């Protein structure tokens, strides 16, 4: 049985007529940067999330970088975040010369544990970046309350959770700034790199728009030192088509994720835990197994693809040796990283494919 880890080809065939039409219009206009396609996407992203400003940019990484730049984060500043995430979250902090300060995760949700944050706040702390991992939002109310108490800014790293809800509000609408990624494998994915930033703050929105375009406030006049962080019109056009169908795909993802969990309820693995007031978009369907290598090999024998998100916490990465962390500092992150593995997941995964995967897992 042929099973794709993520079935992007099936998705393209589903929307092919609409996507091809939009892309042809971009080619016909020869307007490849900015323009009406980007304007339309940003308007629709803002409406979808319920946030005043949605700003398309070149990647989820650049979305996080631009958020920090807009807050004037500099060398010596400290930003609290999680060690159990993709490197981009901490990478952008370090890139600006600031210091990532790691906090261990909650063992059920794999998101940053708010009860551990306050003890690590210092006079140099400027912001908190919780990651909404695997498609489920972090405990944003608790994190925002801590930030308010200490006059900090919260940036939600929603690169895996666009479309998820937390207490009835959409991911990216839960803090001062929300950042997401449109990497092709994301729940809402482009056909290349892309991302977006969300805020209700007019000043921050204006500043981030300038920063992503070399700091320009008008042509060849530069108010800030910025970057080339623009989202191109082709990606905007493709994303706008997919956004029209996104509610349907989110529903399918949730049904497939819940079905996985029901089918695996009696298996000797840990399935995703979703908080009662949350919904997940299951950017990955990630389970924990005691002998991951054996399970990966067993599934591979039956041509079932798997992935590991993520095999090494950030505090143990060579790039962050200078921070002085060591093995044992974040035991939950370390344990989860040794056991976590992701199964095939997309809105186009059939019941037959899912049952085949589960049967292989149960052996």
- Asked if residue 3 is part of any domain, the answer here is no
The values of phi and psi at residue 275, to 5°, are: -60, 150
Domain count, the chain: 2
- Asked if residue 222 is part of any domain, the answer here is yes
Same domain membership, residue 212 and residue 279: no
Same domain membership, residue 234 and residue 93: yes
- Spatial CB neighbours of 194, under 8 Å, sequence gap ≥ 6: 56, 57, 58, 59, 181, 182, 183, 231, 235, 236, 239
The domain containing residue 89 runs over which residues?
A: 8-244
Last residue of a domain, one of 226, 244, 262: 244
Same domain membership, residue 253 and residue 240: no
User: Three-class SS of residue 202?
Assistant: helix
Last residue of a domain, one of 195, 210, 244: 244
CATH number of the domain within which 274 lies:
3.90.1150.10
Same domain membership, residue 161 and residue 260: no
- Asked if residue 231 is part of any domain, the answer here is yes
Same domain membership, residue 279 and residue 239: no
- Asked if residue 121 is part of any domain, the answer here is yes
Same domain membership, residue 237 and residue 135: yes
- Distance (Å, rounded) from C-alpha 134 to C-alpha 258? 14
The single-letter DSSP state of residue 1 is -
pLDDT digit string (tens) for the chain, length 363 residues: 899 999 999 999 999 999 999 999 999 999 999 999 999 999 999 999 999 999 999 999 999 999 999 999 999 999 999 999 999 999 999 999 999 999 999 999 999 999 999 999 999 999 999 999 999 999 999 999 999 999 999 999 999 999 999 999 999 999 999 999 999 999 999 999 999 999 999 999 999 999 999 999 999 999 999 999 999 999 999 999 999 999 999 999 999 999 999 999 999 999 999 999 999 999 999 999 999 999 999 999 999 999 999 999 999 999 999 999 999 999 999 999 999 999 999 999 999 999 999 999 998
* Confidence at residue 363, expressed as pLDDT on a 0 to 100 scale: 87
Same domain membership, residue 147 and residue 78: yes
- Spatial CB neighbours of 127, under 8 Å, sequence gap ≥ 6: 68, 71, 73, 79, 80, 147, 152, 153, 154, 155
* Confidence at residue 109, expressed as pLDDT on a 0 to 100 scale: 98
Last residue of a domain, one of 222, 244, 266: 244
């Amino acid at each position: 049985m042929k099973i794709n880890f993520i079935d992007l080809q099936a998705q393209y065939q589903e929307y092919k007529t609409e996507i091809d039409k939009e892309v042809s219009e971009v080619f016909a206009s020869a307007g490849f940067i900015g323009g009406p396609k980007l304007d339309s996407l940003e308007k629709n992203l803002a409406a979808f999330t319920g946030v005043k400003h949605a700003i398309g940019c070149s990647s989820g990484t650049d979305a996080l970088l631009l958020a920090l730049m807009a807050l004037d984060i500099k060398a010596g500043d400290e930003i609290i975040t999680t060690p159990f995430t993709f490197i981009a979250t901490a990478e952008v902090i370090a890139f600006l010369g600031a210091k990532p300060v790691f906090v261990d995760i909650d063992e059920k949700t794999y998101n940053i544990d708010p009860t551990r944050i306050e003890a690590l706040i210092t006079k140099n702390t400027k912001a908190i970046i919780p990651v909404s991992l695997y498609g489920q939002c972090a405990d944003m109310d608790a994190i925002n309350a801590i930030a308010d108490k200490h006059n900090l800014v919260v940036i939600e790293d929603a690169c895996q959770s666009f479309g998820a809800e937390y207490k009835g509000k959409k991911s990216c609408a839960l803090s001062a700034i929300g950042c997401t990624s449109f990497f092709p494998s994301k729940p809402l994915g482009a056909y290349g790199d892309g991302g977006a930033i969300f805020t209700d703050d007019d000043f921050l929105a204006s500043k981030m728009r300038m920063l992503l375009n070399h700091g320009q406030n008008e042509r060849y006049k530069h108010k800030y030192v910025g970057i080339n962080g623009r989202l191109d019109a082709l990606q905007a056009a493709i994303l706008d088509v997919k956004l029209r169908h996104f509610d349907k795909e989110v529903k399918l993802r949730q049904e497939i994720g819940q079905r996985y969990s029901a089918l695996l309820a009696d298996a000797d693995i840990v399935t995703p835990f979703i908080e009662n007031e949350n919904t997940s978009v299951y950017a990955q369907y990630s389970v924990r197994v005691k002998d991951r290598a054996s399970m990966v090999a067993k599934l591979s024998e039956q041509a079932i693809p798997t992935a590991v998100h993520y095999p090494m916490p950030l505090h143990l990465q060579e790039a962050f040796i200078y921070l002085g962390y060591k093995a044992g500092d974040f035991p939950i992150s370390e344990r989860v990283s040794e056991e976590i593995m992701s199964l095939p997941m997309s809105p186009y995964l059939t019941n037959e494919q899912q049952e085949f995967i589960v049967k292989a897992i149960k052996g």
